[in-house]
Amino acid sequence: MIINGRNYPDVKRNILMNPGPATTTDTVKYAQVIPDICPREKEFCDIMHQMSLDLVKIVHGDPEKFVGVLFCGSGTMNIDVTVSSLVPAGKKILILNNGSYSARAVEVARAYHVDHIDLLLPIDRPIDVAKAEEALSADPDIAVVYCCMHETGTGVLNPIREIGAAAHAHGCTMISDTTSAYAMIPIDIEKDNQDFIMASAQKGLQSMTGLSFIVGRESIIDASADYPVRSYYTNLYMQHSFIREHGEMRFTPPVQTIYATKQAILEYFAEGEQAKWERHQSVWAALYDGLEKLGFRMAIKKEYQSRLVISVLCPDDPAFDFGAMHDYLYKYGYTIYSGKVAGVPMFRMCALGALTAADIPGVFDCIRDYMKEAGMAIPCQYN
């Protein structure tokens, strides 16, 4: 293929339906092939600076109030950063826990001895905002509210705008893990009542792994200068103030991933927020339809779903073997993802990445072939 007048070999296209890293375009893949560069050069710092601004723009943040702060690491880095950095001494973080990613924030709070409330909520439905309000009214020491916008483990979408409004009504900082929603489901950071959101480059942006980022209110980051430093590497104030002063990350950035992400952001803006969200939803609808036609059952009610991740209950047919189905599909370039929710065996099919609805019929031809070869009943059997 020809990119910028140069000829590059074609790369096999895999259809990833795992919850990230996602399928990327060839132009994003090849954007990583660049002359070697020291990341302390101004040329590279300028790319990072522009990227920080673009990451704020994607969620319609006012650049006078919000900043994008880059980190080298996978998405969990952001959970570590926000939970360890944004809770003042003597105050608490309320974690609205309705899935494995909000549960991860609880584990981070425990690891750093951050005073927290682990508000356990049902995982098969969105967070009940009244429960959050109850918890907030009961404890004036809560200074921060945390939730996960899209629980990737189940595909449940949480009402971050309403949760953020409740947090702000109680004078709290609002943090949402938007890793599996950012650059897919439109977010308006201020209208959605968020102070901090986060993501990593390999999900909604359709870039490579290794770059994570937080978009947040600079005034709160500055106020956190006096908060306990619970982690040296992942302290938000230390990272942001260093970048602000020197234009560089404190430590080595993921150079090639940043070039890929620069290209991915270009492609994001070229496609457009609404068109991209519609594309993901059309992939989700094609997946949903294909699954239903074969008689698969979903774990989460349709109206609770993010429209990005489908949790499918494993059929009770003794001929069904998820591992065998995965391997069968994998041979043809289709990747599906195993999962277990509350001990119930499931698998996931996700609509992330550079996919279109036209990619999906081939997936179901392949699934049907597997089912026939395995001797499964069609439609699927459930007890």
User: Interface with ligand PLP by CB under 6 A: which range of 3-11, 71-79, 189-197, 316-324?
Assistant: 71-79
Query: Taking CB under 6 A as the rule, does residue 61 contact ligand PLP?
Result: no
Query: Taking CB under 6 A as the rule, does residue 75 contact ligand PLP?
Result: yes
Placement of tokens 């899209």 in the chain: 150
Query: Taking CB under 6 A as the rule, does residue 257 contact ligand PLP?
Result: no
Which residue lies nearer to ligand PLP by CB, 19 or 61?
19
Residues 197 and 163: their CA atoms lie apart, in Å, by 13
Site for ligand PLP in 199-218 (CB under 6 A): 200
Site for ligand PLP in 2-31 (CB under 6 A): 19-20
Q: Give the tokens for residue 308.
A: 């990005």
C-beta of 151: minimal distance to ligand PLP in Å? Answer: 7
Which residue lies nearer to ligand PLP by CB, 350 or 380?
350
Site for ligand PLP in 156-185 (CB under 6 A): 177, 179-180
Q: If you count them, how many residues does the chain have?
A: 383
Burial (CB count <10 Å: 0-12, 13-18, 19+), residue 358: exposed
Query: Which one of 152, 206, 224, 263 is in contact with ligand PLP (CB under 6 A)?
Result: 152
Q: How far is CA 291 from the centre of its chain?
A: 24
Strands 66-72 and 142-148: unpaired
Which residue lies nearer to ligand PLP by CB, 28 or 367?
28
Output the 3-class SS for 41-101.
CHHHHHHHHHHHHHHHHHCCCCCCCEEEEEEECCCHHHHHHHHHHCCCCCCEEEEEECCHH
Which residue lies nearer to ligand PLP by CB, 80 or 248?
80
Asked if 87 and 93 touch (Cβ cutoff 8 Å), the reply is yes
Residue with nearest beta carbon to ligand PLP: 75
- State the residues that interact with ligand PLP by CB under 6 A: 19-20, 74-76, 101, 148, 152, 177, 179-180, 200
